[in-house]
């Protein structure tokens, strides 16, 4: 298949200035509209001519969607706030440092200057079979090229596979799940607020999408509640190149420790499945226990139950086990944020 | 809207990938239209046709006297098969098409499990019907065709001899069975092959297992989809007929196993479906009926 790079197919460009105008456009063009925030995922698709929307709705002029505000004791981050703004925001750094760490782990400084928090959580998978335009399940076809006896699938899923074995590549998503963030979605029927973990969907639910956004929907903001502000955080990302790469896997935890025992915990992990996973069973298992190596070991073993390796990604199972262990028990060299 | 969706394979060839799922609505609306038209036909046109039908040949009093109070129509095994097949079929249709109309859930596992149940039940039925039931009773025969022609000619106002009563199964019953057989075997055959493309405990996922080309796989998905949506219309028609007042005795017989002596004499030809003392011994291959307690 010929791939023509850097020559985008023609589309009609809209740059609305308000959320209401954006919603009107999305309602008018529905499936034909492509929502663009920072453009980093978008331009890959357009330049490769894999996605050919009739209309591109550029959110860069919608000021309401940008910025970080204090709200309800916590923070509300506009969907088009750049990752750099998130990383540098003083309250994020002080009270939600797991998010600044996660956002800072994404890509390169240049990309973080342009990439948005909404785009980071809503970006498409990096499965190269899919991104090459092959007619896989996720592209509406009838097979998965990555889950075959001969496939190159080192970065693919070990959990939650359902025909498609692609993974979610977001670095900020597990941090947001650990913080119990709420995603604010505008739909043609009104505003909807969902828990961070419920924003993402797996291939069993809808194999062609990675989140709940349907045509006509728009992610407008992410709210960070005060509940987990300033608790004990851990974030770690493992990637092939530490300067700039998508995660092989990342983990995020937020813990409240009382009298040396875990009183409350939220634990999430990404790039193991098509959606970021909140490890609720592990949270239940470690609650009331000391956050030490033994608890982490037990948590790690529990976390990988049901994991199934593909041809080249068996390493992800011990990787996940160890990341969960470190997220709970800590490691000497991995400093607590 | 096209009938089939196409894609470009990794080797640059245009290949079919599946049906256009808008066809689901065509099938569902077609099925509903059929039942509306049929209800109108039965309510108005068929009544006038009946006036021209004349008297079908009745049973002699001697034969009638030998008919038991309850006439066995479906063995327990046959009824059990029907119930299992129906449940599996509904599960398959709901898991296949609810996601297409916006009800999102992880449907694949339920779908293939229901498919396995359907496959096993159909294999059971094939053996059961071949060796333990009257195999030919469900297939249209020469008399059915002749009588269908007679009914049609009389319905359009032409002179024709009176049609005879039915054997064990009315012609429409036989034709429906034929249609569901074709659709069922096609959907099962393609479905079993497609299981190599999903994860099951039976075998590791391997889309290259059978060596089919992308085009062959594509047509297989198309056939699976087409038979799937055809089954939507067929099931709508089946449920409709099962609920029609004049067919309720047949529906009941699929639940309780038998029909009454009156219904038997009213609708069936004892020469073509002998029961009572004239019927072969119950349980033997080729047996047609047996007396059951009232």
Strand partners, A190: A187
Please tell me the distance from the alpha carbon of residue A171 to that of residue A99, in angstroms, as a whole number: 9
Q: Are A182 and A33 found together in one domain?
A: no
List B70's β-bridge partners, or say none.
Answer: B260, B292
At A49-96, the pLDDT tens digits run 899 999 999 999 999 999 999 999 999 999 999 999 999 999 999 999
Q: In this structure, is residue A195 part of a structural domain?
A: yes
Asked if A99 and A243 sit in the same domain, the reply is yes
User: What are A141-155's pLDDT values in tens digits?
Assistant: 999 999 999 999 999
pLDDT score for B48: 54
DSSP B71: E
What does the pLDDT average to over A204-211?
94
Question: From the CA atom positions of chain B, what is the Rg in Å?
Answer: 22
Nearest residue on chain A to B103, alpha-carbon basis: A205
**pLDDT at residue number A5:** 67
Domain identity same for A113 and A260: yes
Specify whether A54 is located in the same domain as A86: no
Here the tokens at position B256 are 């309780």
> Which tokens sit at B232?
């939507």
Average pLDDT, chain B: 86
Counting the structural domains of chain B, the total is 1
At B58 the pLDDT is 56
Q: How far is A320 from chain B (nearest CA, A)?
A: 22
The residue from A38, A61, A84 where one domain ends is: A61
A177 close to A197: Cβ distance less than 8 angstroms: yes
| B99 in contact with chain A, both atoms CB, cutoff 8 A | yes
DSSP annotation string for B111-178: HHHHHHHHHHHHHHHHHHHHHTS-GGGGS--HHHHHHHHHHHHHHTT---PPPPPB-SS-HHHHHHHH
Domain with residue B266: its CATH number is: 1.20.950.20
Site from B1, B5, B7, B216 to mutate, A interface, most A CB atoms within 10 angstroms:
B7
Name which of B207, B215, B221 to mutate to probe chain A: the one with the most chain A Cβ atoms within 10 A of its Cβ.
B207
pLDDT tens readout for residues A37-50: 999 999 999 998 89
**Residue A139 within a domain:** no
Size of interface A-B (CB pairs under 8 A): 62
Phi, psi of A261 (to 5 degrees): -125, 155
CA contacts within 13 A on the Cβ side of A181: 33
* Total domains, chain A: 2
Interval B112-117 mean pLDDT: 97
Cα–Cα distance for residue pair B3/B19, rounded to 1 Å: 6
Query: How confident is the model over B199-239, as pLDDT tens digits?
Result: 888 888 888 888 999 999 999 999 999 999 999 999 999 99
**Scanning every residue of chain A, which has its alpha carbon at the shortest distance from the alpha carbon of B102?**
A206
Is residue A334 over pLDDT 50?
A: no
pLDDT of A337 reads 44
Given this model, what pLDDT does residue A281 score? 98
Is A101 in the same domain as A53? no
Sheet of strand A277-278, all strands in order from the earlier edge strand to the far edge: A232-238, A249-258, A261-270, A277-278
Q: What is the mean pLDDT of residues B65-83?
A: 91
Q: What is the CATH number of the domain that holds A104?
A: 3.30.465.10
- The Cα–Cα gap between B251 and B231 comes to 19
The neighbouring-strand residues paired with A14 are A57
Task: Tell me the H-state helices in A162-278.
Answer: 172-178, 196-199
A51 and A89 part of one domain: no
CA distance B281 to B278: 9
Q: What domain range includes position A98?
A: 70-122+168-329
Q: Which of A61, A78, A102 is the last residue of a domain?
A: A61
Is residue A306 domain-resident? yes
Is A152 contained in some domain?
A: no
Tokens of B206: 């391997």
Q: Helices B108-131 and B76-97 meet at what angle, rounded to 10?
A: 150
A82 shares its domain with A104: yes
Pair A80, A28 in one domain: no
CB-based contacts of B209-216 (< 8 A; 24+ apart in sequence) = B214/B9, B214/B11, B214/B13, B214/B15, B215/B9, B215/B13, B215/B15, B215/B16
| Percent of chain B at pLDDT exceeding 70 | 88
Give me the interface pTM, i.e. the ipTM: 0.82
């Amino acid at each position: 298949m010929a791939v023509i790079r850097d020559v985008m197919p023609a589309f009609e460009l809209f740059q609305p200035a308000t959320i209401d105008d954006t919603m009107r456009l999305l309602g008018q063009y529905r499936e034909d509209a492509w929502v663009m925030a920072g453009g980093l995922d978008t331009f890959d698709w357009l330049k490769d001519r894999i996605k050919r929307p009739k209309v591109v709705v550029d959110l860069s002029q919608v000021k309401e969607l940008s910025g970080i505000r204090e709200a309800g004791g916590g923070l509300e981050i506009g969907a088009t706030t750049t990752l750099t703004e998130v990383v540098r925001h003083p309250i994020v750094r002080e009270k939600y440092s797991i998010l600044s760490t996660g956002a800072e782990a994404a890509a390169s400084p240049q990309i973080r200057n342009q990439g948005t928090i909404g785009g980071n959580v809503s970006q498409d998978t990096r499965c190269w079979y899919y991104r090459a335009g092959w007619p896989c399940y996720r592209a509406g076809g009838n097979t998965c090229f990555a889950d075959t006896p001969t496939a190159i699938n080192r970065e693919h899923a070990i959990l939650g596979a359902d025909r498609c074995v692609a993974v979610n590549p977001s670095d900020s998503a597990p941090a947001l799940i650990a913080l119990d963030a709420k995603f604010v979605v505008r739909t043609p029927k009104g505003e909807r607020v969902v828990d961070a973990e419920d924003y993402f969907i797996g291939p069993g639910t809808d194999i062609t999408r990675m989140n709940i956004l349907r045509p006509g929907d728009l992610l407008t903001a992410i709210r960070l509640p005060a509940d987990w502000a300033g608790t004990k955080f851990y974030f770690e990302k493992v990637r092939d190149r530490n300067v700039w790469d998508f995660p092989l896997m990342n983990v995020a935890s937020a813990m409240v420790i009382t009298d040396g025992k875990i009183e409350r915990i939220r634990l999430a992990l990404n790039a193991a499945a098509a959606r970021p996973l909140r490890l609720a069973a592990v949270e239940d298992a470690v609650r009331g226990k000391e956050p030490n190596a033994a608890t982490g070991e037990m948590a790690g073993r529990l976390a990988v139950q049901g994991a199934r390796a593909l041809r080249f990604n068996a390493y992800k199972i011990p990787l996940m086990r160890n990341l969960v262990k470190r997220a709970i028990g800590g490691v000497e060299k991995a400093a607590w944020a | 809207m096209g009938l089939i969706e196409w894609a470009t394979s990794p080797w640059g060839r245009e290949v079919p990938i599946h049906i256009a799922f808008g066809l689901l609505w065509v099938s569902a609306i077609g099925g509903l239209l059929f039942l509306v038209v049929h209800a109108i036909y039965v309510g108005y046109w068929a009544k006038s046709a009946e006036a021209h039908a004349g008297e079908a040949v009745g049973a002699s009093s001697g034969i009638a006297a030998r008919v038991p109070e309850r006439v066995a129509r479906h063995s327990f095994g046959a009824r059990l098969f029907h119930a299992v097949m129906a449940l599996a079929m509904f599960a398959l249709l709901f898991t296949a098409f609810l996601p297409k109309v916006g009800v999102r859930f992880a449907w694949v596992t339920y779908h293939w499990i229901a498919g396995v149940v359907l496959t096993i039940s159909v294999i059971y039925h094939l053996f059961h019907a071949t060796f333990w039931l009257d195999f030919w009773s469900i297939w249209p025969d020469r008399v059915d065709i002749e009588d269908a022609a007679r009914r049609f000619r009389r319905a359009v106002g032409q002179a024709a001899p009176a049609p005879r009563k039915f054997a064990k199964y009315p012609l429409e019953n036989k034709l429906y069975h034929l249609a569901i057989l074709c659709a069922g075997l096609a959907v099962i055959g393609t479905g079993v092959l497609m299981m190599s493309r999903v994860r099951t405990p039976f075998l590791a996922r391997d889309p290259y297992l059978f060596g089919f080309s992308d085009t062959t796989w594509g047509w297989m998905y198309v056939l699976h989809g087409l038979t799937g949506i055809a089954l939507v219309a067929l099931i709508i028609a089946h449920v409709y007929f099962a609920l029609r007042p004049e067919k309720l005795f047949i529906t009941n017989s699929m639940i309780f196993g038998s029909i009454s002596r009156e219904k038997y004499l009213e609708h069936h030809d004892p020469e073509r479906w002998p029961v009572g003392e004239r019927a072969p011994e119950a349980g033997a291959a080729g047996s047609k009926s047996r007396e059951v307690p009232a």
